């Protein structure tokens, strides 16, 4: 039960996963993944898929749109979103303040889009009004942004304000919320064109399921184009996935059946905890505990501190990672130019609050602060 996960501190005889993903999985979720494989053309699978999709739509606040599942990771979901929804030659403004913002821009360039980047220093963001003005002034049809920057522990909490402004002007907002969905507020029904996430971050399931949530407008435009918009590789073609889901209640290709069993159980856990609002509060509580360690977060402003991935400035990230692992906490170092100077702590997964308290105490003992 969730109550046990929030209070217990089990001993698993190995370092517990406090990485930015994958995450620790509840025993009941792991057990669900061991069910017998069924055909993806069977009535049992259609029931499974329909249940998962319905729960995802509630979790992501998808109103009138659709939630599609594909085999793969968060990167797969972002690739499918960009390749299926952005025509080659289209102008896109990418808002970037970390490694995954840069990857988002690179993916769109590979797609053939004409990409401009509005960048901020890593550890900060761009004001939503400034970003909207830049998008409208430049005449962009698409804006792309990372909701929760996994590399820097930055949450972009002006997302819905930006989405409202852009939608009123006909600009389509694409959101990478791979490490955000479930732990940071995301409402695809409110003016976000499409959003990409996955099973093995804040949803606390096993890896294997890529998820793309489409707004009503995105669905309508995909259907109107009839597949001509994307010309994406078949496995990434969201029009094909949409057509199979709506016409047959299936997926076009073999899905990760057992990962979908696990995801359904993980979504059950979230609903039993009180739904997405309760799940957000759980992650906020965890974040409050870990940020109390006294080690300075990379984001300078407290309202940017992510509730799913905390990034701390330290003198020797490799040493800190090693000693924390010796005490049973597996964390991650930084990415790119931050690799040796940042420790990243995942606030997701099946853990008790006592584990986060112990981790915060260990951080305070071992992590010597450093300026970057």
Domain ranges in the chain?
A: 2-27+275-366, 28-268
- Output the pLDDT for position 225: 83
Residue 284 and residue 230 in contact, taking contact as beta carbons nearer than 8 Å: no
33-42, 83-92, 223-232: the lowest-pLDDT one: 223-232
- Output the pLDDT for position 46: 98
- Measured between alpha carbons, how far is residue 139 from residues 101, 109, 158, 170 in Å? 21, 18, 21, 10
- Output the pLDDT for position 370: 64
Average pLDDT over residues 152-177: 98
Percent of the chain scoring above 70 in pLDDT? 94
User: How many residues in the chain?
Assistant: 372
Burial class (CB in 10 A: 0-12, 13-18, 19+), 137: exposed
Average pLDDT over residues 182-194: 94
301 contacts: CB under 8 Å, gap ≥ 6:
124
pLDDT per position as a tens digit, 238-268:
999 999 999 999 999 999 999 999 999 999 9
pLDDT per position as a tens digit, 341-355:
999 999 999 999 999
Query: Is the pLDDT assigned to residue 55 strictly greater than 60?
Result: yes
Query: Is the pLDDT assigned to residue 116 strictly greater than 90?
Result: yes
SS3 of residue 317 by DSSP: helix
Task: Take residue 15 and report the two structure tokens written for it.
Answer: 């370092």
- Output the pLDDT for position 12: 53
Q: Calculate the CA 220 to chain-centre distance.
A: 24
Please state which CATH class domain 28-268 belongs to: alpha beta
Q: Domain 2-27+275-366: give its CATH architecture.
A: Alpha-Beta Complex (3.90)
Model-level pTM? Answer: 0.95
Pairing relationship of beta strands 332-333 and 329-330 according to DSSP bridges: unpaired
- Output the pLDDT for position 226: 76
Q: Residue 141 CB: number of other CB atoms within 10 A?
A: 14
Task: Take residue 245 and report the two structure tokens written for it.
Answer: 């889901």
- Output the pLDDT for position 9: 44
Among residues 318, 368, 366, 308, which one has the least CA distance to residue 339? Answer: 318
> For residues 43-65, b (16+ Cβ closer than 10 Å) or e, as one string?
eebbebbeebbebbbebbbbeeb
Q: 360-366 — which CB contacts under 8 Å span 24+ positions?
A: 360/289, 360/290, 360/292, 360/293, 361/293, 362/323, 362/324, 362/327, 362/329, 363/290, 363/293, 363/295, 363/312, 363/320, 363/324, 364/293, 364/294, 364/295, 366/319, 366/320, 366/323, 366/324
- Output the pLDDT for position 371: 60
Query: Is the pLDDT assigned to residue 1 strictly greater than 50?
Result: no
Average pLDDT over residues 17-44: 97
Alpha carbons 19 and 99: distance in angstroms, whole number? 16
Burial class (CB in 10 A: 0-12, 13-18, 19+), 170: exposed
Alpha carbons 39 and 35: distance in angstroms, whole number? 13
Percent of the chain scoring above 90 in pLDDT? 91
How far is the first Cα of the chain from the last one, in angstroms, to the nearest whole number? 41
Give the mean pLDDT of the chain. 94
In 33-73, which ranges are continuous DSSP H helix?
Answer: 43-59
Average pLDDT over residues 283-311: 98
Alpha carbons 195 and 214: distance in angstroms, whole number? 7
Query: Is the pLDDT assigned to residue 4 strictly greater than 60?
Result: no
Residue 106 and residue 144 in contact, taking contact as beta carbons nearer than 8 Å: no
SS3 of residue 8 by DSSP: coil
pLDDT per position as a tens digit, 198-245:
999 999 999 999 999 999 999 999 998 876 665 789 999 999 999 999
- Output the pLDDT for position 230: 57
């Amino acid at each position: 039960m969730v109550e046990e996960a929030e209070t217990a501190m089990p001993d698993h005889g190995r370092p517990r996963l406090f990485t930015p993903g994958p995450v620790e999985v509840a025993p009941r979720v792991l057990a669900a993944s061991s069910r017998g494989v069924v055909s993806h053309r069977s009535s049992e699978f259609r029931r499974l898929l329909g249940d998962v999709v319905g729960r995802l739509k509630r979790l992501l606040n998808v109103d009138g749109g659709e939630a599609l599942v594909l085999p793969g990771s968060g990167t797969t979901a972002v690739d499918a979103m960009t390749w299926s929804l952005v025509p080659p030659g289209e102008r896109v403004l990418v808002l970037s303040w970390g490694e995954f913002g840069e990857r988002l821009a690179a993916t769109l360039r590979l797609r053939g889009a004409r990409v401009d980047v509005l960048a901020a220093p890593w550890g900060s963001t761009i004001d939503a009004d400034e970003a909207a003005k830049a998008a409208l002034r430049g005449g962009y049809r698409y804006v792309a942004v990372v909701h929760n920057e996994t590399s820097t522990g930055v949450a972009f909490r002006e997302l819905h304000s930006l989405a409202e402004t852009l939608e009123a002007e006909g600009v389509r907002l694409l959101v990478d919320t791979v490490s955000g969905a479930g732990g940071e507020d995301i409402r695809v029904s409110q003016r976000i064109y499409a959003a990409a996430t996955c099973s093995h971050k804040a949803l606390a399931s096993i890896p294997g399921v890529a998820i793309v949530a489409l707004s009503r407008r995105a669905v309508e435009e995909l259907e109107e184009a009839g597949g001509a918009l994307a010309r994406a590789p078949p496995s990434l073609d969201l029009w094909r996935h949409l057509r199979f889901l709506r016409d047959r209640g299936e997926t076009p290709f073999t899905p990760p059946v057992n990962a979908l069993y696990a995801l359904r159980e993980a979504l059950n856990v979230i609903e039993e905890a009180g739904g997405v609002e309760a799940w957000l509060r759980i992650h906020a509580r965890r974040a409050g505990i870990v940020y109390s360690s006294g080690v300075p977060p990379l984001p300078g402003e407290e309202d940017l501190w992510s509730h799913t991935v905390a990034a701390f400035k330290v003198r020797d990230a490799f040493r800190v990672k090693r000693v924390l692992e010796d005490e049973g906490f597996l964390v991650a170092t930084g990415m790119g130019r931050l690799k040796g100077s940042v420790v990243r702590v995942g606030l997701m997964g099946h853990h008790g609050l006592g584990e986060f308290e112990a981790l915060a105490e260990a951080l305070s003992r071992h992590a010597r602060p450093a300026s970057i």
